[in-house]
Amino acid sequence: MNNAWRGFKGSQWQNGIDVQEFIKDNYTEYVGDDSFLEGPTEATNELWQEIVELKKQEIANGGVLDADTSVISTITSHPAGYINKDLEKIVGLQTEKPLKRGLNVYGGIRMAETALKSYGYELDPELDEFFTEHRKTHNQGVFDAYDDDIRMARRNKIVTGLPDAYGRGRIIPDFRRIALYGVDYLKKQKLNDWNALQAKTYTEEDIRLREEVSTQYRALGKLIELGKIYGFDISRPAANAQEAVQWVYLGFLAMVKEDNGAAQGLGRIAEFLDIYIERDLQEGTLTEKEAQELIDHLVMKVRIVRQLRTPEYEALFAGDPTWATLTFAGMLDDNNSLVTKNTFRFLQTLYNMGNAPEPNMTLMWNEKLPKGFKDFCAKVSIDTSAIQYENDDVMRHYYGSNDVSIACCVSPTAGDTGSSIQFFGARASLPKILTYAVTGGYDEKNRSKVIDGLEPITDEYLDYDTLMEKIDAVMDWVATTYVRALNIIHYMHDKYAYEAVQFGLLDTKLHRMMATGIAGIGLATDSMSAVKYAKVRVVRDEEGFPIDYVVEGDQFPTFGNNEKAADEIADMLIKKFVGKLKAQPTYRNAEITTSILTITSNIVYGKATGALFSGQDAKYKGYREAFTPLSPGANPSYSSPYKGALAALKSVSTIDFEDVKDGSSYTWAVHPKALGKERDVQIENLTMLLDGYFGKDGGHHLNVNVFSKEGLEEMLRNPENYPQATIRVSGYALELSKATKEQISDLLERVIHGSF
Amino acid sequence: MNNAWRGFKGSQWQNGIDVQEFIKDNYTEYVGDDSFLEGPTEATNELWQEIVELKKQEIANGGVLDADTSVISTITSHPAGYINKDLEKIVGLQTEKPLKRGLNVYGGIRMAETALKSYGYELDPELDEFFTEHRKTHNQGVFDAYDDDIRMARRNKIVTGLPDAYGRGRIIPDFRRIALYGVDYLKKQKLNDWNALQAKTYTEEDIRLREEVSTQYRALGKLIELGKIYGFDISRPAANAQEAVQWVYLGFLAMVKEDNGAAQGLGRIAEFLDIYIERDLQEGTLTEKEAQELIDHLVMKVRIVRQLRTPEYEALFAGDPTWATLTFAGMLDDNNSLVTKNTFRFLQTLYNMGNAPEPNMTLMWNEKLPKGFKDFCAKVSIDTSAIQYENDDVMRHYYGSNDVSIACCVSPTAGDTGSSIQFFGARASLPKILTYAVTGGYDEKNRSKVIDGLEPITDEYLDYDTLMEKIDAVMDWVATTYVRALNIIHYMHDKYAYEAVQFGLLDTKLHRMMATGIAGIGLATDSMSAVKYAKVRVVRDEEGFPIDYVVEGDQFPTFGNNEKAADEIADMLIKKFVGKLKAQPTYRNAEITTSILTITSNIVYGKATGALFSGQDAKYKGYREAFTPLSPGANPSYSSPYKGALAALKSVSTIDFEDVKDGSSYTWAVHPKALGKERDVQIENLTMLLDGYFGKDGGHHLNVNVFSKEGLEEMLRNPENYPQATIRVSGYALELSKATKEQISDLLERVIHGSF
């Protein structure tokens, strides 16, 4: 390892796997501005043009360019594939050609079959038979254990988006380990761990863990094989920047080949890779142009990852996202930021190759970040709307680490990258908990009895205390049913679709979080506020079934206006439900965490949710038409904020991170003119706004979109003119050209703040 | 069900699955003699002749007539197959033709591959790849979790015969349920059970059980399909005797197609089927000749079951046994026996089609059984040496049931058939525990250090107390290592080779026993007796390693001579080791039970076991040459018994069943002349002997062989003249023509009691 580690400082990271210590010992903070950045090379332009052409063909082809039907995707299932071998500095494709989708079936053979069929392909009948007869998949396992209540909760969309038919994702392997240590060393460490697990008696957990580590060890062997397929020896550490980027990418490639996971994060690689680039720059073996090209080519590869999914999946998670979430920046400690030149380079890819939804750019914001970097971020946000921001101080405070990575949308690892995973748990609907409290557990859409043993409210006017009692009972049912489903899901996923190479790149002793979620906090808050501060009359049909709620009396406080009365209701609802979730026993003793996040499922949720207590009358703030989309994530209801952008930010930032340690996503849009007329004023204002939201207010997350409603309408009308336009939705960036009509109509509903 | 149940009495069994209650309400005890029995029909003769021919071809072909290499055996994997369709009253084959072996791979793809290769076949490479890449098998799972100690224990034959490379077996499905209730009803009951398992929270065990019941439900659907393949509708109950026999057999067939299990019992079907036969006889739709033909044809099918196994497996379990153990007779209560005419008919198959090792005829002996039956049993034993006997009173006392079935060799279900299973656990070697106590955990054969942290005994003469202390430490190590291995094995078997149809024919809430075993009690007892009652000098090589033990001083008491001093040592050793086994935590909270049983692995064990403390000098009783076979099961050492047959029986019967609730097997041989000159005297004497052994003495099990050493030698010399000759070995009947040279030489060593 001597040559590979030449010039590196520190020793702790040499005595065992400790990437964060290596970064601390060796990185070079960059406090300058973006003037050093380079544009694309000719090779980058040419390669990207080929991709753009292929993407056009993909859209013309109905969304899928090509797909495997008989080769099951594994780490080593395919020969080497290239876009244009001579031009690529970083190589490796999921299949043998770009945009051709691999076939992952362990998560669910039915999902794979349906997905193929939707795009005109047929699953090899022999494979189908084999997986039906001899090899159970995750999906079958889950449904073998699901009970009636879980099925009812699922069917009626009280809980939606559960990873029970495909890969769960949300594991962020520490790809940096490959470059720093080489895979042989990682194998050796796993063998040591396996030996250290020997004991006089084994629980089932012990047996499973021993088996898992064996499986990881073999998968790491396959990872070495994948390197060989492309002509690299990744059993040894990377010796220069090109190798480091390539080694890291091969790890990522192994993940997306192994598993069709719901979210497959990149982790924190920018600052790590900077160390290799800096060394090469100083050794004179690399130029800035070449360095940028390496990062451009890596990002290009991440952009063309394609998983095979069904149209139903697309309805929940539009735009073919893979959530290759890239986490960067933040502070090392109170004095030193983790910003490097390479942090800039990753953002620069948005200029060099145009806008793109992947990697999901996730910036750890801190007031103390160097000004040059903060200004550059604001500029990129204004130009591309491609960045989401998370609160660096909150992460460091709650998870005691400056190496937290974000999985999926907003969900942090519980410490250094590589030390924890999340059992992805989708989300439960708060508004439906409210409607069920009134109906006595009957679904407002299909009228079926979902919760047994609950009596309906039969009063003409809703009484707050009576209602809260009922809500408490419904929450009990939802919390137990929900966590029960998650326990089944992750038990079966470990059993039938274990992500061996991904776990192989993590610590053996892991902190596991069970990442539950809540949808519809805005609507639920406004509804309870209406009951508390106005008067809500229940409208019933001839059978006495509640079909509408009419607000009478005064205007009531709503979430998103910095009104304490409303914000406290939000806090109460969250605490109440999260408390019940946390009381549940979990598979592998996972820690229950919760997010306020919807992705684009706010639309699906909304369509299943009838009238609510805040009414349908536009004269009241917080009104909403029955069976229309909810606002996304932690956003105030579409009809709620009326005191402007700052008040909305204030309200959202009151959400207590202690309750929602899986993150709460606020998707926010501002008219460019609201930020100022001149570009430098816009940059300054956006920077100040982020400082305020994350600093004083302690907000957790912000999706920053900068565009006008007219601009959005123009892009949506003529998408062919804006092939790479993206918009931040709850937790990721959606390519506008891939949005459905419904999603577009929802986008147009969203509040674009025209002023503060 | 009205027509199928016409004439049946009782109601409890109609309100839920309760076969035993049905039998009690409806069976007809038979207290007469064997004079009613019929010989074979022409069809039976003709069919059996075809089998005899095929068996000859099988032997000529090296032991395997034909084998599948690309079709994986499942319940419904094959089209209908026949010996001679027109002649068969009971139909159904494992594959499409008789004696062609099916391919079971879930237990271990390597085992299947090796077995095929040994007989000149090649596993379909596509299958091989599929199971290597995508579908883990039991064997791989186990070895992914095994630790160094377990591997050492296994390699050095401290524990041998673990079901870690093939199916575990030892599940006795209640096939009677198919005939009595029809499969639709069984499916409905499973669905009820599944629904009853719903709860607010699930442990992993709950989730697994729910999944298992789903799997069972689907497998029962496949069982109906299997019926359809042969033209039967077994979704409904059997309506007459032919259907009842056929329905039961199809359940058995589904089992042997689903799984290559170490032992696949038939359970207690004789008396159950008698009820259907009696009804048909009374209705005039069946004659005795036809009834016997049904049983003959059923037994014929059981005789030709063939699983695909490796030569290594054969070394442990010679003669291609499947342990289709058939349990019969015993008492219903203190006044009524369970003997029916059909109990006779099953024994009669040994005359109608000649001798055979399967089904493994296991008779629940009780003094109170009708004399006519007892005499017939004795006669069959004298003629065929094909029966093993178990103690009916002991079974009923310890397991509170008159419906106990025997799995494998001697191992009882813990209650009614269908209410419990055994996690098969092979056995540990007591003699090697003794040698390790002296060597300090070094193996006497390969000199490797097996147990860390143990110091050797360096004294010239063995001191009993010092030795016992060391034995205690070695036993600790063996007990923890052994049960740890079993926990891994059964965790993985449930995970990768779950026997869905077999469990589908059992209760959902099962009593699980972890059936451990002990080998070498005779030799271990004699050795400790030598140390205690004589003087034992350790002979060492130049490195100080113990290579021999020389007895000095007086003769010492040995096991098998009704000497209290020796029998107490046996008891102490058993209690000590079993106590340590029972202290171990087990997978699924299985109850640890223990057997004293070796099958034919006494040879393999012996070859791995060096000199012992009872020495190698023939002037001392209990001597044994190093690295030669142990005596089988609970047998006294070959050189021990010298006080005759009765004293040996007495010694063995002192073993406390409370310690060895999985049974202790005593394989016993007597010269016909020792039983008397005349046939009727022989019968009377054997009956009396069995009454004494099982009655007053409370012995648990007896394999009764009746032949002379000269007779055995003649049969072994000219096997072609005795193609169907069998001999009872520890726990089953071995076809002499299939015994290896080593096994034959071992057989000749055995004590054949020439007198009492």
Q: What's the gap in Å between the CA of B434 and the closest CA on chain A?
A: 21
Span A352-375, mean pLDDT? 97
Mean pLDDT of chain A: 95
Tell me the C-alpha distance between A13 and A317, whole Å. Answer: 39
Q: Mean pLDDT over residues B4-23, rounded?
A: 97
Task: Verify whether residue B377 is a known catalytic residue.
Answer: no
Strands B427-429, B159-160: parallel, antiparallel or unpaired by DSSP?
Answer: antiparallel
pLDDT band at A545 (very low <50, low <70, confident <90, very high): very high
DSSP string covering A26-80, please? Answer: H-----S-GGG-----HHHHHHHHHHHHHHHHHHHTTS-SEEEEEEEP-TTSS--
Whether residue B161 is contained in a domain is answered as no
The answer as to whether A707 is a domain residue is no
The pLDDT, as a whole number, for residue B1 is 63
Chain B residue nearest residue A585, CA to CA:
B201
The residue among B127, B150, B202 with the most chain A CBs within 10 A of its CB, best to mutate, is: B202
Q: List pLDDT tens digits, range B37-54.
A: 999 999 999 999 999 999
Distance CA B688, CA B704 (A): 13
pLDDT of B565 strictly over 80: yes
Q: What integer pLDDT is reported at residue B313 of this predicted model?
A: 81
Q: Which of B70, B71, B200 to mutate to test the interface with A (most CBs of A within 10 A)?
A: B200
Which helix (H) or strand (E) element contains residue A401? Answer: none
Q: Measured between CA atoms, how close is A59 to chain B, in angstroms?
A: 32
B606-634 per-position pLDDT tens digit: 999 999 999 999 999 999 999 999 999 99
Triad B176, B182, B186: Cα angle to 5°: 85
Q: Could you tell me which chain B residue has the CA closest to the CA of A584?
A: B201
- Least confident among A425-439, A636-650, B545-559: A636-650
B331 within domain boundaries = no
Give residue for tokens 């070094």.
B442
Confidence (pLDDT) at A108: 94
pLDDT tens-digit map of B642-696: 888 889 999 999 999 999 999 999 999 999 999 999 999 999 999 999 999 999 8
Indicate if A377 belongs to the active site.
no
3-state secondary structure B285-310: CCCHHHHHHHHHHHHHHHHCCCCCCC
Average pLDDT rounded to a whole number, residues B272-301: 98
In a domain, A521, yes or no: yes
Tell me, yes or no, whether B136 lies in a domain: no
pLDDT above 80 (res B316):
no
pTM of the predicted protein model = 0.97
Could you tell me how far CA B42 lies from the centroid of its own chain? Answer: 33
Question: Residue holding tokens 């079926």?
Answer: A448
Res. A351: pLDDT tops 70: yes
Q: Are B433 and B475 in contact (CB under 8 A)?
A: yes
Query: Residues A409, A538, A599, A630: which is the catalytic one?
Result: A409
pLDDT tens per residue across span B408-417: 999 999 999 9
pLDDT at A93: 98
B149 interface with A at CB cutoff 8 Å = yes
Are B512 and B590 in contact by the 8 Å Cβ rule? The answer is yes
Residue B609 lies in a domain: yes
pLDDT at B486 over 90: yes
For residue A199, name the pLDDT band (cuts at 50, 70, 90).
very high
Q: Does B122 touch chain A (CB under 8 A)?
A: no
pLDDT digits over A406-429, tens only?
999 999 999 999 999 999 999 999
Exposure b/e, A41-70, CB count within 10 A at least 16 = b: bebbeebbeebeebbeebbeeeebbbbbee
Burial of residue A511 (CB within 10 Å: 0-12, 13-18, 19+) is: middle
pLDDT-derived band at B315, boundaries 50, 70, 90: confident
Domain count, chain B: 1
* Paired tokens of A393: 């101080």
Let me know if residue B446 belongs to a domain.
Answer: yes
Cα B246 from Cα B232, distance rounded (Å):
9
- Domain assignment present for residue A581? The answer is yes
**So what's the pLDDT on residue A20?**
97
Is B133's Cβ below 8 Å from some Cβ in A?
yes
- List, for residues B352-379, the tens digit of each pLDDT value: 999 999 999 999 999 999 999 999 999 9
B491 CB near a chain A CB, below 8 Å?
yes
**B129 in contact with A at a CB cutoff of 8 Å?**
no
Q: What is the pLDDT of residues A224-264, one digit of tens each?
A: 999 999 999 999 999 999 999 999 999 999 999 999 999 99
**Least confidently predicted of A740-749, B230-239, B581-590, B698-707:** A740-749
Angstroms from B517 CA to nearest CA on chain A: 19
Please tell me the total number of residues recorded for chain A in this structure: 756
Lowest mean pLDDT among A32-41, A519-528, B574-583, B724-733: B724-733
Interhelix angle B679-694/B371-384, rounded to 10 degrees, is: 110
What is the predicted pLDDT for the residue at B737?
A: 82
Task: Please measure the distance between the N-terminal and C-terminal CA atoms of chain B and give it in whole angstroms.
Answer: 56
Helix, strand, coil shares, percent, chain A, to 5: 45, 15, 40
Q: Which residue has the tokens 């060492």?
A: B540
User: Mean pLDDT over all residues of chain B?
Assistant: 95
Task: Reply yes or no on whether the pLDDT at A1 is more than 70.
Answer: no
State pLDDT tens for residues B441-475.
Answer: 999 999 999 999 999 999 999 999 999 999 999 99
Structural domain containing residue B482: 428-664
